[in-house]
Structure 1
Amino acid sequence: MIRFTGPLCCIALMLAAMPARAQEEANCIDPQTQMELTYCAGLDFEAADKDLNALWPKVVAAAKSSDEYVADQARSMGVPTTLEALRAAQRAWIAFRDAQCEYEAYEMFGGTGQPMLGSMCLARLTRERIDLLKQALESR
């Protein structure tokens, strides 16, 4: 589950505040206004986040499966289990993603394009994470 904080919260609020009619009329195939660009970037991130959330149970299941073989040994060595390591990595990745996207959005600091850049970054890094997690699943 993604939690918006700081400037990322502003992106979510901006999308929610966009008038319903403007949302209905937004052209995400060929956006022409900054409002459309920002709205469509937000939708793109929402789609990527949905894909990540759909993949997550498979990744957790794979980690649990690995733990059938290594959890006892990991605990005896004082290191995290596969599932614990996965969850710690995901929490760290979310913190990185949010901080990185806040930084990247500063390219248009204070401008109307700042939320759009943040959403574009969120979508890009989320898709990269999906690819990485899929590769991990395939290698198990």
Structure 2
Amino acid sequence: MKELVILSAMLMAAFPATAQDDPEVDCENPVTQMEMTYCAEQDFAEADEQLNAQYKVTRQAMKDWDGDAMDGLGSAADALLASQRAWLAFRDAQCAFYGYQARGGTVEPMLIYGCQAELTRQRTQQLKEQTDLMGGN
């Protein structure tokens, strides 16, 4: 066992980890499954950035709304937080379920990322609509 630990340490020292740049992939025309999965992941990351930006706007709007609301009616900001937490759990569970159609295959991660991107864009739109309804920006 001790020899295995020493061998592992020697191998790690011989092959230092290097920072890898993002692969050069044309997401307008991905060819391999790895490229398609990479592009789906990038699409989800972009959708997630947009969601986070909209969430900040919506949260501030709900805090402003709370400042104008009568006492004892609850907090829109707290309701938003509870809703967002529940939605995140739903999104992740739903997309894991969606991925089961290709369970264990190389397509599964692409399906999950695609599902996450789609549901995330829908949620961003829901938050924007709620912000607009309640007098936010």
Same fold, TM exceeding 0.5? Answer: yes
Report the equivalent of 1:9: none
CA contact (8 A) 1:105 1:114 kept: yes
Alignment map for 1:73-88 (pairs within 5 Å): 73-74=72-73, 80-88=74-82
Q: Report the Cα distance in structure 2 between the residues aligned to 1:63 and 1:114, rounded to whole angstroms.
A: 37
Which residue in 2 is equivalent to 1:65? 64
Dislocated runs of 4+, deviation >4 Å: none
**C-alpha displacement at 1:70, in angstroms?**
2.7
CA distance in 2, matches of 1:32, 1:128: 28
Across the aligned residues of Structure 1 and Structure 2, the Cα RMSD in angstroms comes to 1.5
- Closer/same/farther in 2, CA of residues 36 and 71 from structure 1, 3 Å limit: farther
* Mapped partners of 1:20, 1:112: distance in 2: 22
Identical residues among aligned pairs (%)? 44
The residue that corresponds to 1:50 in the other structure is 49
**Count of residue pairs brought into register by the alignment:** 116
Compute the displacement of 1:24 (Å): 2.6
Instruction: Please state if 1:121 is matched with 2:115.
Output: yes
Following superposition, the deviation at residue 127 of structure 1 comes to 0.0
1:1-140 paired onto structure 2 within 5 Å: 20=20, 23-70=22-69, 72-74=71-73, 80-140=74-134
State TM-score, norm by structure 2: 0.79
Unmatched segments (≥5 aa) in structure 2? 1-18
Give the TM-score taking structure 1 as reference length. Answer: 0.78
2:29 alignment partner, SS class? coil
After superposition, give the CA deviation of every residue in 1:65-108 in whole Å (9 maximum; x if it has no partner).
Answer: 1111336222xxxxx41111000000000000000000001110
Paired residue secondary structure (2:71)? helix
Shift of 1:54: 1.1
Separation in 2, partners of 1:49, 1:71: 34
The structure with the greater share of residues assigned to helix is 1
